[in-house]
Amino acid sequence: MNNNKQSRREFLSTTALGALGATGITGLLGKSNNAAAHDKPEDIKKLREYSHLSFLQEAPDGEKIKAGLVGCGGRGSGAAVNFVDAGPNLEIVALGDLFEDQLERCRTGLKKARDIEVADENCFTGWDSYKKVIDSDVDLVLFATPPYFRPMQVEAAIAAGKHVFQEKPLAVDPVGARRMHKTAQKAKDNKLNMVTGTLRRYQKDYVETQRRVANGAIGRVVGANIVRNGGAVWWVKRRPEWDTEMEYMLRNWYNYSWLSGDHYVEQFIHELDVLNGYVNDDPSHIDTYPVSAIGYGGREQRKSGNIFDQFSVIYSYANGNDLHCSTRQINDTQYGKKQHITGTKGYADAAGTLYDHDGKVIWEYPYPDANDEKDPWAVKNAYVQEHIELVTALRKGAYINDAERNINSTRLALMGRMAAYSGKEITWEEVVNSDLRLGPDIEPEQLDFGPVDGIRKTPVIGDAPAPDSSRYT
């Protein structure tokens, strides 16, 4: 049972949300006061050219595309619904999960949400269930298992010639990030498409704001303040039938750093990915990396696991810019989100507004009237838009692979976590080259439900040397 409020992402990921997917998020937003002044077809064209995305409201029709889902929890079930909502002739034909009860809940939810039925012979459980899904008759695989498993499982899918949708983050440690980088390159070499669930890069209002800043709307970017504060996210109370430490950790995976990477990596990566988009100074969209990071964090209210509930990190760049990021998951505190990008001529709210330094609005995203999906500026539900872009690439013979940028965003998150855990300065080179490995250093199918040694300790700032600042396993 969950013992506190469900996070927004968990809520949005459930199959119950599927019924809302078609309306997108525009219906939640009012029409901009200056929409008419910015509703220009040429700007939509520029947006598509800048992002290399279609921003279609639905993927084009074509031959049937069959997908398998690995990881049947709330996010996985939601991703399956998002996939079939992306366009016509899309099917979920295989399911895989470690636990049978979770798989059956997913089957029931998919049937209720979209009348999706998956045959018994295509439902797989156990440590090697991901391999069975990959080896079934599928064209692509959706991965929503705990992030610890991502580098290993996605590597197997690409090796088998499957296209991939994967949830973020792409690793929980530097070793996993390097492994994923090799997999992304292999996918590119073999023209296998990869899309990652980092949402904002597929959300039209966020991308258009970024495009305008990249074109100098607020001058040169010189600073940023990125904040995401909310309450505690889910945790699971141990049940008597979960008689091993391994099973409890896996069912409570978000709260253990070796499985989730901590919330700075698992959730705040959305904000870090937005930040990465603004510090790009290369038109080829290769990220500009910070030279180093310092930070701190702690644990005040967590009821379970070993992760922090607060982080504050400063990233320093070679041009002298220092960018601040902080996040908190503590109940009964001030909640809110800020993605504030400072330029020499003004500043941006990354969600869709530009200001001069006197606070005057100089541009805002032209949201159409609620539910007007035909308007070219309508913002599709980003959970669905991700899959629209993937399916569109497959059906138009194009190519999409966002893994490299998401690896960089993952490394940015790892860098901040390592700095906060250690209390020491962490360099980008240390994150890229560190031998830090969280969790068992074996393949998923080699794991078992025996005892788990040495990974329950919560990090204590100052106890661990850099760069292996998370090596408390």
Asked if pLDDT for residue 438 goes beyond 70, the answer is yes
DSSP one-letter code for 326: E
- In terms of residues, how long is the chain? 473
Strand partners, 364: 353
Asked if pLDDT for residue 30 goes beyond 70, the answer is no
Give the H or E element holding residue 142. strand 140-143
Q: How far apart are alpha carbons 429 and 411 in whole angstroms? A: 10
The closest of 162, 160, 276, 303 to 213, measured between CA atoms, is: 276
Q: Name the amino acid, one letter, at 447.
A: L
pLDDT tens-digit profile of 229-246? 999 999 999 999 998 999
- Whether residue 26 contacts residue 368, with contact meaning beta carbons closer than 8 Å, is answered with yes
Where in the chain do CATH 3.30.360.10 domains reside?
219-375+408-446
The sign of the torsion formed by the CA atoms of 14, 76, 1, 307 equals negative
Asked if pLDDT for residue 146 goes beyond 50, the answer is yes
- In the chain, how long is the greatest CA-to-CA distance? 64
Q: How far apart are alpha carbons 57 and 59 in whole angstroms? A: 7
pLDDT tens-digit profile of 173-208? 999 999 999 999 999 999 999 999 999 999 999 999
The closest of 468, 209, 448 to 343, measured between CA atoms, is: 209
Asked if pLDDT for residue 294 goes beyond 80, the answer is yes
Fold of the domain spanning 219-375+408-446: Dihydrodipicolinate Reductase; domain 2 (3.30.360)
Could you tell me the pTM of the whole model? 0.90
Quickly state the pLDDT bin for 450 (edges 50, 70, 90): confident
Quickly state the pLDDT bin for 473 (edges 50, 70, 90): very low
Where in the chain do CATH 3.40.50.720 domains reside?
8-200+385-402
Lowest mean pLDDT segment, chosen from 276-280, 336-340, 432-436:
276-280
- Whether residue 205 contacts residue 399, with contact meaning beta carbons closer than 8 Å, is answered with no
Residue 21 has what pLDDT?
Answer: 35
CATH dotted code for 8-200+385-402: 3.40.50.720
Residue 297 has what pLDDT?
Answer: 96
Summarize the confidence of residues 26-43 as an average pLDDT: 49
Asked if pLDDT for residue 379 goes beyond 90, the answer is yes
CA angle 16, 21, 27 (to 5 degrees): 115
